[in-house]
Structure formats: structure tokens, C-alpha cells
């Protein structure tokens, strides 16, 4: 038997195991000043606060329904990623509430955010509110948003930061959800932290 090939063959599985990332003991956003009280309106016109989600894990994403590309793609990935978790680990998946908060309350009425979110996940909650309430939520979640230039036809885009937060049942930040990397990456990050 050729011994030169045995050692590498035995070491290969160990090398592969060493390359796999072990879960971090400390959440990457632990202690960050992200999140906090908010008072908004859901897609059914009901008042919703941060306390409405107490005891639930949340994926919180800020965007707007008239976004031509990025927001629908990110929200689709969040919804599809959560569906993967629900299939693979139903108990974990049931603990997570996906939340979409508009940065464009002038156009994103309760009915509009409800229709938008239901296209991506049946449990996704769409939130809107007064410009002041949205601005307060943006500040609490360290989100940048600004109305872009208005076109001659009256349309406009919203410039805004692009991040999805995983928040724990107490409303504390845990990790960024990689919504720009597809459903599998979203599912992996949820499965990594939700217990």
C-alpha cells in the first residue's frame, strides 16, 4: 500500500472541517445602538409598536414599495430565506417575524405596504406611518433615507441605506441579514442565531 497517499487522504476531511465557520459565541451586533421604540401603522391600519413584537425574533428591513430594483429583490430574498428556515427548522422559522418598514410614507399607505409584503411572505408585516414616526424609526435603526429629485412626471426615488437586521426577542440587535446574497444566505444567518 502506498503510504504517501494515506496521510493526505486522512488530513483532507480535517482541513475541510477547519475551513468551515463555527458559530460565533458573541453576536456581531451585540451592544450596538440599533433598534428602540417605534409607533407605526400596519397594513390593516392598526397601530403597531415595537412592543407588538416582544418575544419574537425579527428581521427588520427598511425600503419602499416603489423601489425599481433593490428593495423588491432584498425583500424577496428575506421572504424566501425565511421559507427555507420554516421548511428545514419549523420551530425556528415560526419564531421569526419579517418586518418591512417604508421610508416613503407619502406613497406607501397601509394598503400598499400590505399588498407589497404579502407578495413575499404570508407573515411579513408591512409598516408605515406619519413622516415624523418613520423618521423616528429610521433614527432608532440607524437608517439613512432621503427623497431624491422629482422628475417632470412627478415620480421620484428614495435614497436609503440597505441593511436588514436580525433582532432578538427583547428587541436587541444580533446580526445583519445578508439579503443581497440570496435566500440561502438569509436562511443560514437566521438558523445560526435563532434558538
Query: What DSSP line would sit under 116-137, residue for residue?
Result: HHHTT-TTPEEEE--HHHHHHH
Tell me how long the chain is: 195
Cell output for 125: 408585516
How many other C-beta atoms can be found within 10 angstroms of the C-beta atom of residue 93? 21
Q: How far apart are CA 166 and CA 111, in angstroms?
A: 25
Buried b (16+ CB within 10 A) or exposed e, 149-158: eeeeeeeeeb
| Binding residue numbers | 67, 71, 160
For every residue of 33-101, DSSP letters joined together read ------EEEETTS-EEEGGGGTTSEEEEEEE-TT-SSHHHHHHHHHHHHHHHHHHH-HHHHHTEEEEEE
Binding-site residue numbers for Cu cation are: 67, 71, 160
- Alpha-carbon Rg for the chain in angstroms: 20
Non-local CB neighbours of 86 within 8 Å, separated by 6+ positions: 93, 94
Amino acid at each position: 500500500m502506498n503510504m504517501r497517499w494515506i496521510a493526505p487522504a486522512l488530513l483532507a476531511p480535517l482541513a475541510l472541517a477547519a475551513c468551515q465557520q463555527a458559530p460565533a459565541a458573541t453576536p456581531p451586533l451585540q451592544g450596538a445602538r440599533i433598534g428602540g421604540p417605534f409607533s407605526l401603522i400596519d397594513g390593516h391600519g392598526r397601530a403597531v409598536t415595537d412592543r407588538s413584537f416582544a418575544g419574537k425574533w425579527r428581521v427588520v428591513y427598511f425600503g419602499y414599495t416603489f423601489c425599481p430594483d433593490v428593495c423588491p429583490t432584498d425583500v424577496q430574498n428575506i421572504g424566501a430565506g425565511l421559507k427555507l428556515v420554516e421548511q428545514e427548522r419549523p420551530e425556528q422559522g415560526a419564531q421569526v417575524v419579517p418586518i418591512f418598514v417604508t421610508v416613503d410614507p407619502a406613497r406607501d399607505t397601509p394598503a400598499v405596504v400590505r399588498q407589497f409584503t404579502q407578495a413575499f411572505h404570508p407573515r411579513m408585516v408591512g409598516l408605515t406611518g406619519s413622516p415624523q414616526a418613520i423618521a423616528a424609526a429610521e433614527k432608532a435603526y440607524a437608517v439613512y433615507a432621503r427623497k431624491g429629485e422629482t422628475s417632470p412626471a412627478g415620480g421620484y426615488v428614495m435614497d436609503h441605506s440597505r441593511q436588514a437586521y436580525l433582532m432578538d426577542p427583547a428587541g436587541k440587535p444580533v446580526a445583519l441579514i445578508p439579503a443581497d446574497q440570496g435566500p440561502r444566505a438569509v436562511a443560514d444567518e437566521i438558523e445560526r442565531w435563532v434558538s
